[in-house]
Each structure stands twice: as C-alpha cells, then as structure tokens.
Amino acid sequence: MKSSCRVFMHVRRGSLLALSLMLVSQVMLAAETGTQLQRVDPEADRLALQQYYLKRFPHVPMDEYVNGIYAVDADSRKQWDALMAFPPYEFDLEEGEALFNTPFANGKGYGDCFENGGIGIRHQYPYWNREEGTVKTLEQEINECRVENGEAPLPWKRGDIAKISAYMAFTSRGKRFAIQIPEDDPRALQAYLDGKKFFYSKRGQLNLSCANCHLQGSRILIRADLPGPALGHPTHFPVFRSKWGEIGTLHRRYEGCHRDTRSVPLPPQSDAFRKLEYFQTYMSNGLPVNGPGARK
Amino acid sequence: MKRKMLVPAVVTLLHAQGLYAASFEQVFNEQRALYGKGHEFSYGGKIHTTFHPEEIEAMAEPNAANARALIDGAEALRVESAAVGYEWRGPAIYIRQAREALAAGRYQSAMELAARAKYLARMSLKQYRNAEANWQRAVPE
C-alpha cells in the first residue's frame, strides 16, 4: 500500500512537471513567433516563411515564387506557359497606359501625383504613411489622385483602376519589393502585426485562415483547385483571372477569398485588407515585381 | 530503475488523461456528428440530448412573440460578431428569411430559421475567441 502510494506521488509529481514544461513551452513558442508588438520581428517572419517553402519545395528557386502555383506544380505550369504565349491582360495593359496618360479635366495627370511620374514605383507599395497613420496602397493613391484633381474615384475591384494599376506595375517589372516598416513608428509595426494576425486567423463558417489554403494548403487540392503559395502572392497583381474573364485587383481577390470561407467579406481597401497587403508584401520583399499576371 | 519507469508512466498517464478526459463539448459534438439532433447520450452520470440550445428554444410554442424573441436574439449575436470582424454569411440570410416567415404568420418556420441564425452567430463568436487565443500556432518558425 505504502509503495503504491509512493508510485502515485512520483507519477503525480511527474505529471505536474510535464504539465509545467508544456505550459512553459507554449509561452516560449508564443514569444518566438512574435505575436505581440514588443516581440514581433518582420524580418524573422520573412526568413521563416522562405525556409518553410525551401523545405516544402526544395527545388524551386526563390524568385520563381512570383509565379504562384505555376512555380510549384508542373502540370499547371504547362497550361500556364501555353496561356502566356498571348497574355490575356495585354489589351488591359494598353488601355491602362492610355488611361494613365490621359490628362484630367484640369490638365494634370496621374504622373503629377506620384514620385518619378508614377513610373517604376510599384515595388514601394504598400507603404506606411506616417502623417496619416495608416497603410497606403497603390490603388488607394490612384483614387486619391483623381479626387484631388476633381475626378470621381473609380470602383476598387475591376475596370479602369485595375488597368491603371496594371500599367504602373508593368513599368516596375523586375524591381524588387522593398517594403519598409519604420522602426521609429510603432504604429507601422502594429499594422504589420495586425496583417499577420489576419493572415493566420481562421474565419468563416468553413473555419479557414489565409494560411490554411496558402501556406499549409499550397499545392494541395481543394476540390479541383490547387492553392498557390503565400510567398510571392502580391507580386503579380493586378491579375487577369480566367474565372473573372477580366483583370482585377488584389483586394478583389481578398474579398473573394474571404467570402469563400463563408464570411461576410470586408470591403476592398478596408483597413484590415490594407494591413493584410502590408504583411503579405513585406513577406515578398526581395522578390521582383512581375505584375500584371494571368491566373486561373 | 524506478526513475527510468517514471517518464513512460507520466507519458502514459497524460495520454490516458487525454483519452478519457473528453470535455462535454467534445462528447456532444461527436454524438451530434454521429447521430444528428435529438439523440440521447450520457455524460457525467446524466442523460443529455444532441439538440443545440437554439434548437431547444425553437421548440417553444410557435407564436409571434416567441419568434420575435428568437429573431432578436439571433440579430444581437450577429451584430456582435460583425463588430469584431467575424460575421459569417449565414446568419443575416436566415434572419431575413425568419422575418419574412414571421410577417407571413409562419411562426414555426420563423423560429427554426432564427434558431439556425442564432447558432451560426454564436459559433462565429466562438471562432473569434478561439482565433484570438490560438492564431499564432499556425505561424512557421
């Protein structure tokens, strides 16, 4: 009886020790992942994401990730290569250039609103605007440019705004994303962290996060679709999507993905989606701009 | 020797705890998935059914007051989930249909639709709380 009591005490003490270790390891895990403002490390996040994909698809060069699913799935790549013999966005690109160069009623144009006349600047977007205390996207500034010059803003998801953005991306092709998170403004880091949290949080009745499909689910069939890797996601937008039959913006895609989880989707250019774009584009730092793109 | 035995014993014990200490929620969900609503099962020495609380609410007398109360309850939870950015598509649709049924005097139908909406809205809030607590687990290191 005495010895069985001693064994029980040993086991109990051992259980408590094991449980304590489990709890401590959970706390340490949370600290390493940088889930709080004091500890979040965007560069560590970016390198960890790259490492994840290097392990997952060891033969895929890093720059290839700008091509989405076509970087990691040979069969999809063959179809895409055939499609790209005559890229479906070419007419939109031509229209985008014409729209970009058409002066507003006041005689000014888009070039007057942007650095370097709006040419070759896509890789700097989105960025943290210190004065306004918010993330600014390229499409947002295209519309702000219009409003400042007495023109009506364009709808966010498709049409002219996507075409103008496509042309601006095209003039930036090959330039590498270099999204900055100013160290002296903690609001910028908070915006990044909010975007990161959005990406990894499960949503909707289907209980899916962005990461479920585009991290763990990269190149794993969801019904008939193969989700592309998260790395390099924003580099090729706007895209001509075969499903849409037209060109559309990144936030149109965000809205669609969000709806697909059976969530009530947030509107394009909402604060949460701009932060998500900030996080995602930072993850693609170092990858070249290759927009506009063509996708299924 | 005793020390060598301690680690496997602890591991076994923890496994055993994991296996046998299923929460009421786990058991409920399992039974619901296996047998659908209205099935009886025992937990903690008591008999329970696999009805969701909202489905039990919908069993009240089908009249305008009860239907309106259930719709209001569902709408309150829907608004709460929208406020935290976790609104699902279902609740608003079912609430609209429940209001139409109420207006047409189809009280039982209105209560069933509102119950469905209320359940989904409650689950969306549960998802929000779960995401707040666990989102970091998916981040690659």
Same structural domain, A25 and A52: no
Nearest Cα of chain B lies from the Cα of A151 at a distance, in angstroms, of: 32
pLDDT over threshold 90, residue B18 = no
In this prediction the ipTM stands at 0.83
Q: How far is B140 from chain A (nearest CA, A)?
A: 6
CB spacing of A35 vs B92 below 8 angstroms: no
| Conformation bin of residue B36: beta by default, left when phi > 0, alpha when psi is -120 to 50 | left
Residue B51, classed as helix, strand or coil, is coil
Same domain, yes or no: A15 and A73: no
Same domain flag for A16 and A116: no
Task: Tell me, yes or no, whether A152 and A208 share the same domain.
Answer: yes
* B50 three-class SS: coil
Residues A232 and A164 in one domain: yes
pLDDT tens sequence across A193-241 = 999 999 999 999 999 999 999 999 999 999 889 999 999 999 999 999 9
Both A170 and A220 in one domain: the answer is yes
Q: Which residue of A has its CA nearest to B138?
A: A200
Would you name the residues of A annotated as active-site residues? 257
Whether pTM exceeds 0.90: no
Q: Which two tokens stand for residue B26?
A: 């786990």
Residue in A43, A205, A270 to test binding to B, most B beta-carbons within 10 Å: A205
Chain B partners of A207 at a C-beta cutoff of 8 Å? 127
The whole-angstrom separation of Cα A70 and Cα A131 is 40
Q: Is the pLDDT of residue B90 over 60?
A: yes
pLDDT tens digit sequence for A116-151: 999 999 999 999 999 999 999 999 999 999 999 999
Whichever domain contains A203, its CATH number is: 1.10.760.10
DSSP state string for chain A: -HHHHHHHHHHHHHHHHHHHHHHHHHHHHHHHHT-STTT--HHHHHHHHHHHHHHHSTTS-GGGGGGTHHHH-HHHHHHHHHHTTS-TTHHHHHHHHHHHHS--TTS--GGGTSGGGGSS-GGG-SEEETTTTEEE-HHHHHHHHHHHTTPPPPPSSBTHHHHHHHHHHHTTTTPBP-----TT-HHHHHHHHHHHHHHHS-BTTTTB-HHIIIIITTT--BTTB-PPPSTTGGGG-SEEETTTTEEE-HHHHHHHHHHHTTB-PPPTT-HHHHHHHHHHHHHTTTSBP--SEEE-
User: Are A211 and A165 within one domain?
Assistant: yes
Residues A19 and A76 in one domain: no
The total of structural domains in chain A comes to 2
A54 reaches B (C-beta below 8 A): no
| Cα(A138)–Cα(A144) distance, integer angstroms | 10
CB contact under 8 A, A202 and B13: no
Question: Is B6–A14 a contact, with Cβ atoms under 8 angstroms apart?
Answer: yes
Segments forming the whole domain that contains residue A18? 1-29
A204 and B89 in contact by Cβ < 8 A? yes
Q: Are residues A188 and A293 in the same domain?
A: yes
Q: Same structural domain for residues A10 and A122?
A: no
Q: Are residues A280 and A156 in the same domain?
A: yes
Note whether residue A159 is domain-resident: yes
Chain A hits for B85, CB-CB cut-off 8 Å, are 266, 272
**Do A48 and A14 belong together in one domain?**
no
Residue contacts between A and B (CB atoms, under 8 Å): 88
Task: Tell me whether residue A34 is in a domain.
Answer: no
- Report the C-alpha gap between A96 and A102 in whole angstroms: 10
